[in-house]
Amino acid sequence: MADGVSVQPWRPDRVRPGMAVAATLDLDAALMLRVRDGCSSSYAALLERHRNPVIHYVFRMVQNQAIAEELAQEVFLRVYRSRQKYEPSAKFTTWLFRIATNLAFNWLRDERSRKSQESLNDGLTAGATINLKDRRPSVESVLVHNVKLNAVREAIGSLPEKQRAAVLMHKYEEMEYSQIAKVLGCSDSAVKSLIFRAYESLREKLAQYG
């Protein structure tokens, strides 16, 4: 950033003039082009728009809050570091989620290898996932909700990495198959196949919660 690295809160009025730069591009791409030109408020705007979706996506992938935040920070750092090379050839969110997905895949791979070395058993694995806290007031509803949440987490966690990423992007980010294909670097038909198989597996595992 030309005027320092601290990201100031986003003020929409600050970014409007930049929209003329690329009227045909999506807002994110236009903001990113302004970031490339040294505009710190545009970076803050991108952060504000995508921080929670990225953190939540990475959290659902790795199922660990501290790691999710660490990886999400790395995502935005990489976005910032790559600003000079940025070309709006693809949708910004495709690029963003590709970075997030690759980081999550790498972490999951490292974690799997670490766990296999340490020979952790299933009990410890289940213990490591207890990071989410439900804030509902009723103890009974908390228990019911937590049982369901654990089932959902375990069902998602048991999916192969690519199926997991595809279904999370389809469900929570409402991405089209073609965009998911670009994020994962595979064909549209491969993504459909991943998603169909993932939902099939989830239907079997979550049938009792209907």
Site string for another protein, 118-157 (x = CB under 8 A): --------------xxxx---------x--xx-xxx-xx-
Categorise residue 71: left if φ over 0, alpha if ψ from -120 to 50, beta otherwise: alpha
Task: Work out how close the CB of 76 gets to another protein at its nearest, in angstroms, rounded to a whole number.
Answer: 6
- Stretch binding another protein (CB under 8 A), from 86-94, 106-114, 157-165, 198-206: 198-206
Q: Is 5 in the site for another protein (CB under 8 A)?
A: yes
The CB density around residue 52, as the number of other CB atoms within 10 Å, is 10
Nearest to another protein of 22, 173 (CB atom): 173
31 with 42: CB under 8 angstroms? yes
What whole-number distance in Å separates Cα of residue 153 and Cα of residue 140? 20
The first and second tokens of residue 33, run together, are: 């082009």
What whole-number distance in Å separates Cα of residue 112 and Cα of residue 101? 16
Q: Is 67 in the site for another protein (CB under 8 A)?
A: no
85 with 95: CB under 8 angstroms? no
| Residue of 14, 51, 91, 115 interacting with another protein (CB under 8 A) | 51
Q: Is 65 in the site for another protein (CB under 8 A)?
A: yes
End-to-end CA distance of the chain: 51
Size of site (CB under 8 A) for another protein:
46
Task: Work out how close the CB of 143 gets to another protein at its nearest, in angstroms, rounded to a whole number.
Answer: 14
What whole-number distance in Å separates Cα of residue 58 and Cα of residue 16? 30
Residue of 108, 88, 106 whose CA lies nearest to 30: 88
**Site residues (vs another protein, CB under 8 A):** 1, 5-7, 47, 51-52, 55-56, 59-60, 65, 68-69, 72-73, 76-77, 80-81, 132-135, 145, 148-149, 151-153, 155-156, 170-172, 174, 192, 195-196, 199, 202-203, 206-207, 209-210
